[in-house]
Amino acid sequence: MKSGPFSRLWKAGFVSSTGDWVGILATLSLAEELAGGSGIVLALVSRILPGLFFAAVGGVIADRVNRKYSMITVEVGRAVLMFSLVFARSIQYLVLVNLALEALTLVFQPAKEASVPTLVQKNELVQANSLSLSAAYGTFPLGAAVFLLVAPFGPHFTMWGRISGEHGQEALAFLVDSFTYLASAAFIFTLPIGRRQLPEERRRRGRLNLTAPLRDLRDGVVFIATHRRVRPVVLAFTAALAGGGIVVVLGKPYSVDVLNAGKAGFPALLTAFGLGAGLGIILVTIFGPRLQHKDISFSFALLITGFALGAAGLIKTIFGGVGWISVMGMGAGSAYVLGFAHLHEQAIDEVRGRTFAALFSLMRIGLLTSMAVALPLAVVLDHRLPGLLSEGKRMVLLLGGGTIFFSGTMALWRVRKTLVEMGHIERRTAFEAVTNAFRAYRRSAAGEPVNDNGEPAGEPEQAGLVEAAGAEIGEKEDSAG
């Protein structure tokens, strides 16, 4: 982190992510002022919708264009779009700019993730992903603090009379966000990411061939669908986000209506999740480099996450909810880091951008689906079962936990051969150790001298004498002949 290319990429991500949170908070604030509650919904949907359609295109761009210059272009483009929001005065323009910003982000993310394995050693991927995750989500408090710090200057920020003082806070926040994107582009410009040498067949197909991007898209889909170590992790991520998205929607009504925790309940659950995720990331950072099969560790982390969410759906107090949600956060943070590190290792450089583009797209689909059905499903399941499970919100949380647990189980089932081989190796090693120890004890109890392996100490010497005698006899027979 003190020096090196990944340090510069991390700094770019840290600055850019901080600006993202500032921009998101300013966008939601301005949307509420322009169109009330419906404006907030439109702003959020415009951030999610492009991922359902444009993510695959972003992956193709990341694999066909120099990733360094594509990231710089995206950051400059986002800076220009964010600066234009300083003068936004209609919800329609705000939504259009949000759509364009998210489309550019879907080009930036695959290019960034595909560049990480080229900047660090293989045994450093876990630490690199832990740091990237901390820069992406750990900067939310910093972004919120920046948004609050510019508030006193908002009424005085009028851009020489071009904007009104009542929107000054949001306009100043958009301006700060624009500068963070430019700073990120400056860091990325110093990265040693050169032009990749593609195979001759790929270069030949791409020349003056308008269907080449479509072929690239097909090749990426085929790679993900057929790679036995990549497909289970991508699908498990999708199912896990579908189960975890339920917490986003039901967290507040569950803490208020079911746990009777009042207004402080939901912030307590969010804090517990964040602290648990931080602990999981720290543990994975420490022990991750020793894990050879990261997809197996990823699957076990999902099992912990799903079990904890299901248990949180059965508790009766906010203290129990805080405990289980923190365990869920620990599993989720570990799974995120291990899953990304595994995909960095397994996906070849030629299709790595498309692999992560597909992952981001499917994760968004899973998250959006769960957020859309969580509340209606809770209403449908109300009073369907007796006792503790009569509340629909509990049932939906149990279903979410079951979905995550099932995804971890299926991911483990896909690598069952590796698990069996690992089990045999461990059992064989342990069996041999026990056998040697027993032989050594038996021979020492009988008064025989033994070596460290439990073998009689005289055997190697006797074997050497016999071998020497045999060699001497052979030499004499040769000379006689």
- Note the pLDDT tens digit of each residue in 247-273: 877 888 888 888 888 777 888 888 888
Stated length of the chain: 481
- Check whether 473 has a pLDDT greater than 50: no
Lowest mean pLDDT among 20-24, 153-157, 203-207, 289-293: 203-207
Domain termination site, one of 156, 176, 196: 196
| pLDDT bucket at 214, cuts 50 / 70 / 90 | low
Site of tokens 């720290």: 282
- Shared-domain flag, residues 26 and 173: yes
For the ranges 12-26, 199-213, 257-271, 276-290, the maximum mean pLDDT occurs at: 12-26
* Number of C-beta neighbours around residue 22 at 10 A: 27
Domain termination site, one of 175, 196, 217: 196
| pLDDT bucket at 463, cuts 50 / 70 / 90 | very low
Tell me what pLDDT residue 270 has. Answer: 83
- Check whether 294 has a pLDDT greater than 50: yes
Tell me what pLDDT residue 465 has. Answer: 43
For the ranges 52-66, 120-134, 204-218, the maximum mean pLDDT occurs at: 120-134
- Shared-domain flag, residues 33 and 164: yes
Identify the CATH number of the domain in which residue 284 sits: 1.20.1250.20
Lowest mean pLDDT among 264-273, 362-371, 377-386, 458-467: 458-467
The parent domain of residue 240 ranges over 227-414
Residue 156's contacts (CB-CB under 8 Å, 6 or more residues apart) are 165, 168
Position 283: which residue type? L
Q: How many domains does the chain have?
A: 3
Tell me what pLDDT residue 201 has. Answer: 55
| pLDDT bucket at 207, cuts 50 / 70 / 90 | very low
- Shared-domain flag, residues 237 and 382: yes
**Rg of the Cα trace of the chain?**
29
Tell me what pLDDT residue 77 has. Answer: 95
Percent of the chain scoring above 70 in pLDDT:
79
- Shared-domain flag, residues 410 and 438: no
Of 359, 355, 300, nearest in space to 331 by CA: 300
- Check whether 357 has a pLDDT greater than 90: no
- Shared-domain flag, residues 181 and 74: yes
Decide if 89 is inside a domain. Answer: yes
Q: What is the mean pLDDT of residues 28-33?
A: 86
- Shared-domain flag, residues 273 and 179: no
Q: Taking all residues of the chain, what is their mean pLDDT, rounded to a whole number?
A: 80
Site of tokens 């919708």: 49
Tell me what pLDDT residue 460 has. Answer: 45
Identify the bridge partners of residue 450 per DSSP, sorted by sequence position.
Answer: 456
Three-state secondary structure string covering 17-34: HHHHHHHHHHHHHHHHHH
Decide if 218 is inside a domain. Answer: no
- Shared-domain flag, residues 409 and 461: no
Inter-CA distances, 79 with 36, 107, 145, Å: 26, 15, 21
- Shared-domain flag, residues 399 and 436: no
Tell me what pLDDT residue 100 has. Answer: 92
Tell me the C-alpha distance between 23 and 150, whole Å: 12
Tell me what pLDDT residue 461 has. Answer: 42
Inter-CA distances, 86 with 97, 158, 159, 164, Å: 11, 10, 9, 11
**Which tops the pLDDT comparison, 73 or 200?**
73
Decide if 220 is inside a domain. Answer: no
Tell me the C-alpha distance between 88 and 466, whole Å: 95
Decide if 425 is inside a domain. Answer: no
Tell me the C-alpha distance between 40 and 64, whole Å: 36
Virtual torsion, Cα 369, 371, 376, 382, nearest 10 deg = 120
* Number of C-beta neighbours around residue 45 at 10 A: 13
- Shared-domain flag, residues 85 and 149: yes
Dmax (CA) of the chain: 116
Decide if 457 is inside a domain. Answer: yes
| pLDDT bucket at 469, cuts 50 / 70 / 90 | very low
- Check whether 3 has a pLDDT greater than 80: no
- Shared-domain flag, residues 344 and 456: no
Decide if 75 is inside a domain. Answer: yes
Of 103, 105, 173, 185, nearest in space to 145 by CA: 173
Identify the CATH number of the domain in which residue 161 sits: 1.20.1250
Tell me the C-alpha distance between 321 and 252, whole Å: 12
Decide if 133 is inside a domain. Answer: no
- Shared-domain flag, residues 354 and 443: no
How many CA atoms does the CB half-sphere of 283 hold within 13 Å? 17
**Which tops the pLDDT comparison, 438 or 71?**
71
Decide if 15 is inside a domain. Answer: yes
- Shared-domain flag, residues 373 and 232: yes
Start-to-end Cα distance in the chain: 74
Q: What is the mean pLDDT of residues 285-289?
A: 77
Tell me the C-alpha distance between 333 and 290, whole Å: 18
Tell me what pLDDT residue 202 has. Answer: 54
